[in-house]
């Protein structure tokens, strides 16, 4: 049994290492706390149930975050489901562009895009509706706190 326990421990270390590496390239500030870098789950099939009507939307280095901002230990999910969710992020988009706007309740809304053409097309669509919108491009280097930095490349303000 010690051999299996060691293999399980090695797998858990590998999962933690993969999360750490993905946070460097695909990590974005959490929509619930800006001071935390997270992996965003985009695939609805990977938004596993965490508690009643709460489902997985973000993975941080040491926690899972549900759609209401509550946090859970990684162990709440089956290891296979956690690995599948992490793989979906690895295979998913790289958040190179960030589109900022407001939703119908005037709350800040953020959408991420991998390619500039798609991001810019969405920017123009919102601009044509005369909505306030900003398009930002991710810089290569993380800041001194390990957070991604974005620079504004286009914006449309309503006066």
Please state the domain extents for the chain.
2-91, 97-156
Residue 22 · residue 39 · CB < 8 Å: yes
| pLDDT the model gives residue 38 | 94
**Rg of the Cα atoms in the chain:** 18
Residue 5 confidence (pLDDT) above 80: yes
Q: Specify which of 33-37, 102-106, 115-119 reaches the highest per-range mean pLDDT.
A: 115-119
Give the separation between CA 119 and CA 122, rounded to whole angstroms.
5
Question: pLDDT digit string (tens) for 63-102?
Answer: 999 999 999 999 999 999 999 999 999 998 888 898 888 7
Is the per-residue pLDDT at 103 higher than 80? no
- Residue 132, pLDDT above cutoff 90: no
d(CA 7, CA 5): 5
Separation of alpha carbons 111 and 81, rounded Å: 25
pLDDT by residue (tens digit) across 107-117? 778 888 989 99
Which residue shows structure tokens 């299996």?
A: 4
pTM metric for this prediction: 0.75
């Amino acid at each position: 049994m010690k051999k299996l326990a060691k293999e399980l421990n090695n797998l858990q270390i590998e999962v933690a290492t993969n999360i750490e590496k993905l946070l460097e390239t695909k990590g974005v500030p959490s929509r619930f706390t800006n001071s935390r870098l997270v992996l965003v789950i985009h695939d609805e099939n990977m938004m596993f149930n965490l508690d009643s009507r709460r489902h997985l939307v973000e993975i941080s280095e040491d926690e899972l975050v549900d759609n209401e901002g509550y946090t859970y230990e990684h162990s709440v999910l089956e290891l296979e489901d956690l690995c599948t969710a992490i793989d979906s992020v690895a295979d998913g988009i790289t958040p190179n562009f960030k589109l900022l706007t407001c939703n119908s309740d005037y709350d800040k809304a953020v959408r991420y895009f991998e390619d500039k053409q798609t991001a810019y097309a969405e920017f123009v669509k919102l601009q044509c509706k005369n909505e306030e919108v900003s398009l930002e491009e991710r810089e290569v280097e993380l800041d001194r706190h390990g957070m991604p930095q974005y620079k504004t490349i286009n914006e449309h303000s309503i006066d």
